[in-house]
Amino acid sequence: MKRHVKIDGINLGIFAARDVVSEGMNEAGLTCSFLTLQNSSFQPYNWMHPQRNIMSYSLCKWVLENFASVDDVQVALPKMNVFLDTAVHFAIQDVGKKILVAEFLNKEQLLHEDLNDGRDTFGIMTNEPRFEWQLQNVKHLEWKRTLARSAVAVPGNWYPDERFLRVHLVKQAIEKTKQPATYREAVARTVAVLNTVTVPMGDIPGTDSSAASGGEGLGDHTQWGLIRDHLNKEIYLRSETNPSFRRIQLAELQLGEGEPVTTMEIEQDPWFLDVSKAFTSEIPGRVKASSIV
């Protein structure tokens, strides 16, 4: 069994906390997360072979504990029944940069490879509609950009389809014109992309968050943001009320067999870095601040 770090910000009450994993990374650098997909319909429980059943909220736990690569998951998952209807779909990614999107519609298991080639797939996932629709929507946007008088605005709404397009355009621009030269720059570029689709708290116009619309009401916002470094097995994490990123290095954690389960609550962490006493007569670097008397 592989050891892993899980990240959760949801309270499901009736389920054991350790059985629910909404986001996590294991010691092999494999990650799994789920995002909202309304109108999902999972598979029926297999009473003949109960060992082949996985509760939907525990799918990421099963993935992280048993596999090291997307290829391995891709072979094993079709043999399993994922039951309990919940409004989620899943993204699984490994050190080799391969991504597997798993969706459950009409009680069927649908697996999609995302090779992030910039042509057929784009290394992006948000919420509803289903993944294949999102891919076609990006291709339609790219078709518009080929027209003789192309005038395509950057989508600015908070709906998942426009956030998908926005990530695509920003990510594409960085990859073509401003590739990072250092690891720090790479993280900074990723944060910049993340910021473009972070949904603020509150009843934000354009989120369609009313109960009648099927949204999540005032809970329909970004509860946490993170950056995954699969190669170095690191996670950078921030929450809705703690904007400072925290780095989690799996190599520094006690993940050996038999080690106790430990937890960390980011809301109780400091949420800023106080540099009031760091002023000197000369501050090196490009970015400077000055105290004015």
Residue 213: per-residue pLDDT? 47
Q: What is the pTM of this model?
A: 0.86
Domain ranges of the chain: 1-114+214-293
Topology of domain 1-114+214-293 in CATH is: Penicillin V Acylase; Chain A (3.60.60)
Residue 292: per-residue pLDDT? 58
H-helix segments, 18-130: 59-66, 70-76
Residue 126: per-residue pLDDT? 94
Report the half-sphere exposure of 154 (CA within 13 A, side-chain side).
11
Residue 152: per-residue pLDDT? 85
User: Which parts of the chain have pLDDT scores under 50?
Assistant: 11-16, 209-214, 216
pLDDT digits (tens, 9 = 90+) for 233-249: 999 999 888 999 999 99
Distances (CA, A) of 32 to 161, 196, 231: 21, 22, 15
